[in-house]
Every structure is written in C-alpha cells, then in structure tokens.
Structure 1
Amino acid sequence: MSASKRIDLTDIAGVVVLYNPDDQFFENIKTYLHQVDKLYVVDNSDKPAINVSQYIGQISKIHYINNEDNKGVAYALNVAAQAAIKDGYSHLLTMDDDSKAPVDMVESMISFHNKYPYSNKLGIISVSHSKPLKHVEYKKVLFTMTSGNIVNLHAYQKVGAYNEKLFIDHVDHEFGIRLNLLDYEIIEIADVKLNHRLGTSKSIYLLGYKYNFVSHSPLRLYYFTRNGLYIINSYVFSAPFFCMKILKLVIIESLKSFLLDDDKKNRFIYLIKAIRDALSKNLGKINV
C-alpha cells in the first residue's frame, strides 16, 4: 500500500456550521481562519443575524452560505464538502461555532498526515476527544466528534455524504462507521486539544454529593435516542461492536436525562416518540 501525496495548508478548506451563534463566534473563527485556505461559513440559523454577514463579508477568504433555515448539521457539512471539492481542495476542516482551535492545530495534523505511512487510508484526522492519551502519539478510534476534524474528501466521496436524514446527533458516528467499513482510519492526535462547549453545564446534589453534568433539551434527547437506535438497527450485523458502543451512549444519556435533569414528563414523551420513530424509520427534522 503506497502513501498518498503530501499536503499543506493550500489543500485544506474549512467549514463552520452556525446556528443562532452569539458574538463569541467571531472570536472563535479567528483562532483557525489563518489555518485554512478558505473558510465556508454555513448558516443554519432560523433568522441569520445581520452582524454575521457584515463581519464575514469583510474577509475575502470566507465564503458565506445562508441556508435560510435549520436544515441540519449533515446538510450543512455536505454543502461545504461539495463546495470544497468543486474548488479543488483535498481536505476539509470541520468546526462547530462554539469551538476554539489551538494556534498550531492544523499544522500538527498536516505534519501527522505527511509522516503517516498509509496516509491514503486516513479518513479523518482529529483532535483528541477521547480520554487523555498517555505515552502514545495517536489513537485509532471508531468514531470522533465532528468539531476539530480534517476530513479526507476523497474518502468522503467513496463512502458517501453525511446522512441528512439524521438531521443532528450521531451524524459523526454514522459517517465514522461507513469509513471503517471501507477500511479508512479515524485517528485522534494525542497532543492536540480543542476548546469546545458541550451543552449547558448544571449541578445537582444527590445523597449529599454534588454532581456536575451537561444538560440537553428534551428535543435533543429525542434526536440522540432516535438516531442512535436507527444506527444500531441499520448496522447491527455489519458492525456489532460499533453498535454496542452506540447503545451504551444512548442508555447513559437517557438515564442521565431522567435522573439528573428536570421536565421529566416531557423527556419521557420525547423518548417514547424517539423509539417509535427509530423503529418505523421516520427520520429527518420534526415539527415542534
């Protein structure tokens, strides 16, 4: 197996997906704008803020795409991936609007790619989202979170686009399983970390102990559960170990939601709907 060609910053475009971002979004973009050749800003906001378009309109390397509605993270990623391919890029950096990048993030990922002996089989190079990696330079994983990825666009074309039927949640997991099934590798680099905010942090006291946890809305619980169960049903025979991991995630998040969060009645209603919709393959965005 031969290695693919070396890459540099001119081969890499970036995408950040917006959804009703706060003003911190501008500062976040500044941390990685210089690390890509072009940045696609895909706006999924219900009502795009005027200050967003005004700010990015002043920067030549930014290409703003207004979806005029929330069409889901998978749709937004596909829009950017197709644009990057059309513009001649071989790789795409994917970022969330609440993520900040370390100054040398992309350079570290490029360096890893160029010295990896089988770089043509790298589907994704990612920052480290897993538990702290000790005494190793990198770790092969089954899947990784979307933010802080450099996606091989040749692999993207081989395995197919992000699954837009999922809308949000598990989009990265489902894409990861298809990469693995075609023998592409997903690698997290140990010494590259991302400053990323996940949900709303809350605390609760149980039996005299304080527990900190990340809270998600009942609607996000719905998407997380529905899509997780759909993936399990779709890949249980081709990737059983992967599906066991997804099932574990779904169970843990459901238990946390019921035990630690409020609005339990609404969460239960959404959970039942999620199970029904997963079994009937009723996917996409739901009306609430």
Structure 2
Amino acid sequence: MAGVVLAYHPEPDIVQNVNALLAQADEVFVVDNSPGETSRQILRPMASDARVTILEQPGNVGVAAGFNAGIRAALDNAADFVWIFDQDSTVTDGMLDKLLAAHAAAGKTAGIVAPALRSHATGVVYRRETGKGAGEVDVVISSGSLFSKQLLETIGLHDEPLFIDYVDHDISLRARAKGFRNYKVFDALLDHRFGDSDPVRLFGRRVYLANYSPMRQFHMARNRLIVLRRYGLGRWFWEDFWFTSKAWVKVLLLETDRPAKIRAAARGLWAGVRFDVRS
C-alpha cells in the first residue's frame, strides 16, 4: 500500500504529515509541484528514509497531473492500493485499517473509499461528515481517498486538463458511471484545511474564509460547469450548490480582491461553456 502526498510550496509541517502517513503506509511518494531550493530544503529530511521517494515535477503541473505522477509511480512499484493526500491534510490513528475494511466489505463494486473530514481549524467534524459506519456517496474529496489498482485500471486516472478543483468530483462521478460505488467511512477522520481558514465574524457567528485566489475562482467556476455538462444534475450538484453558495456569500461580503474574483469566475464560466467535455 502506497501513499501519495502532493506538495506545493510546502510548509515544514509536511514532514510531520508524511511521518504520520508512514506509520500506516508501506511507502510514500511525495510529488513536488514547486521544485526549487526552498522546497528541497523542506522535503530533504524525508529523503533519508528509504520508504520515501521525492518526485520533482517540471513546475506546477496541477493537482490532477501531480496526483497522477504519484499514482503511476506507486502502481509501477506494485502497489495494490494508493492513498492520496494534499499537503495540508493529516491522517489519524487507525485510518487506513478502517478504509481497507470498508473497501473489503463493499466487495467487487467498491469504488473510491474516503474518510470523513474534521476541521483543522476547529477540531470539529463538519456537520455533513457525521454518521456511522460507511455510507455510499456520489463524490469524495481527493485528500485522504483510497483507490484500488483494479479501480484505477478500469476508470483511468485524474483528468489532467482540469488542472485543479473538481478533479475529485470528476473521477468520483466517472467511477459511479462505470458501475462502482464510492463510500465515506465516518469513523475514519481526516484533519483537513480548506484554503487559509481565517476566522472572522459574520452575522454574529464565527466563520472561516478560504481566501482562494482569482485563479482558483476561475478554475472552480470552469470545472464546476464542465463536470455538470459531463454528468448532469444529481445529488452531487445540490450538495455542491449549497457549499458554493455559502462560499460566495463570504467572498462577496468579507474577502478581499472581490472584483478580480468575480471577473475570474465569469471568465471561468465562459471557458466551461467552450470546453470540449469529450476530451
């Protein structure tokens, strides 16, 4: 079983995250999407461990291509399962065993198996991430997700032209379209951070701002429409609509650089209309 961690201008705590992953995985491939001396200095302490392989990319190749580089390396090294992570996610004790157990229980139709998400900022499990056992879901986020070799050989890897955002939606819905069933394992928790997670007050309540850049707003708007065109309306869309609506309330009322983010999202929508979804 191999882990994959995608690194982009990593902070020093990535070393602790990888060490926590190594306590459960046989080996870890760290994909460096921001090669250079700064990243090398941060990642170098891990390179002395024979179980860690640093895969430097030619630059920021994106989330989809970055994950794919790690997945290919893991499969080439005879991994039966690949467990992928963003650099700002941290595994919790016993997480892999719970994911593998859920995968085994699901049988031959097991698709992507993922943990429930706990806020890195508050330590609280998100409301929509609570439950018991494993539940079937349409989509899961990439970070913390477990893929079997059989699944990847059937559905393919992440769609690299999407670059970033909704990459996880696309591969999740592709798995479902191929007859697989995706699962969220509620007693397997992943500590995860969305964007900056800056705390502010809104209508008397504490909320957390992602502060995504205009570039991210472009890709989110573009790829949301691409995924909608590919797979149509479904439970995934209405769940995403609720999440996106709340995010844009915070963008419009509280975040900085609002005009640039609005323009970027508009450009993204137009790009999503023009995108060839058959590619």
2-structure distance, mates of 1:271, 1:46: 29
1:41-74 deviations in Å (ceiling 9; x for gaps): 1110153523234212200011110003000111
The DSSP-based 3-state class of the residue aligned with 1:156 is helix
Q: How does 1:96-175 map to 2 (within 5 A)?
A: 96-114=86-104, 116=105, 118-129=106-117, 131-134=128-131, 136-175=132-171
1-structure distance, mates of 2:35, 2:220: 21
2-structure distance, mates of 1:197, 1:247: 20
Q: How does 1:216-235 map to 2 (within 5 A)?
A: 216-235=212-231
Q: CA deviation at 1:248?
A: 4.4
1:43 match: 32
Instruction: Tell me if the contact between 2:17 and 2:87 (Cα under 8 Å) persists in the aligned partners.
Output: yes
Q: 1:250/1:257 Cα in 2 relative to 1: closer, same or farther (>3 Å)?
A: same
Q: Which of residues 75, 86, 104 is equivalent to 2:76?
A: 86
2-structure distance, mates of 1:191, 1:234: 32
Q: 1:27/1:203 Cα in 2 relative to 1: closer, same or farther (>3 Å)?
A: closer
The DSSP-based 3-state class of the residue aligned with 2:29 is strand
The DSSP-based 3-state class of the residue aligned with 1:69 is coil
Q: 1:68/1:214 Cα in 2 relative to 1: closer, same or farther (>3 Å)?
A: same
Q: CA deviation at 1:241?
A: 4.1
2:207 match: 212
Q: 1:133/1:250 Cα in 2 relative to 1: closer, same or farther (>3 Å)?
A: closer
User: Greater shift after overlay, 18-27 or 196-205?
Assistant: 196-205
Greater gyration radius: 1
2-structure distance, mates of 1:98, 1:240: 29
Q: CA deviation at 1:142?
A: 0.5
Question: Percent of aligned positions with the same letter in both sequences?
Answer: 23
User: Greater shift after overlay, 39-48 or 94-103?
Assistant: 39-48
Q: Which of residues 257, 262, 277 is equivalent to 1:263?
A: 257
Structure 1: 4+ residue segments shifted above 6 A: none
Q: CA deviation at 1:169?
A: 0.5
Residues 1:184 and 2:180 are matched in the alignment: yes
Whichever residue aligns with residue 61 of structure 1, its letter is R
Q: 1:133/1:245 Cα in 2 relative to 1: closer, same or farther (>3 Å)?
A: closer
Instruction: Tell me if the contact between 1:122 and 1:185 (Cα under 8 Å) persists in the aligned partners.
Output: yes
Instruction: Tell me if the contact between 2:4 and 2:30 (Cα under 8 Å) persists in the aligned partners.
Output: yes
2-structure distance, mates of 1:20, 1:282: 31
1:165-213 deviations in Å (ceiling 9; x for gaps): 1111111011000011112111111111111111112344455x24412
Residues 1:20 and 2:2 are matched in the alignment: no
Paired residues in the alignment total 266
Residues 1:277 and 2:271 are matched in the alignment: yes
Whichever residue aligns with residue 260 of structure 1, its letter is L
Instruction: Tell me if the contact between 2:209 and 2:250 (Cα under 8 Å) persists in the aligned partners.
Output: no
Q: Unaligned 5+ residue runs, structure 2?
A: 118-125
2-structure distance, mates of 1:40, 1:194: 19
Q: CA deviation at 1:243?
A: 3.7
Whichever residue aligns with residue 34 of structure 2, its letter is S
Q: 1:104/1:205 Cα in 2 relative to 1: closer, same or farther (>3 Å)?
A: closer
Q: CA deviation at 1:90?
A: 1.4
1-structure distance, mates of 2:201, 2:17: 33
Instruction: Tell me if the contact between 2:22 and 2:28 (Cα under 8 Å) persists in the aligned partners.
Output: yes
1-structure distance, mates of 2:103, 2:234: 29
Instruction: Tell me if the contact between 1:169 and 1:227 (Cα under 8 Å) persists in the aligned partners.
Output: yes
2-structure distance, mates of 1:267, 1:204: 19
1:205-227 deviations in Å (ceiling 9; x for gaps): 455x2441222222211111111
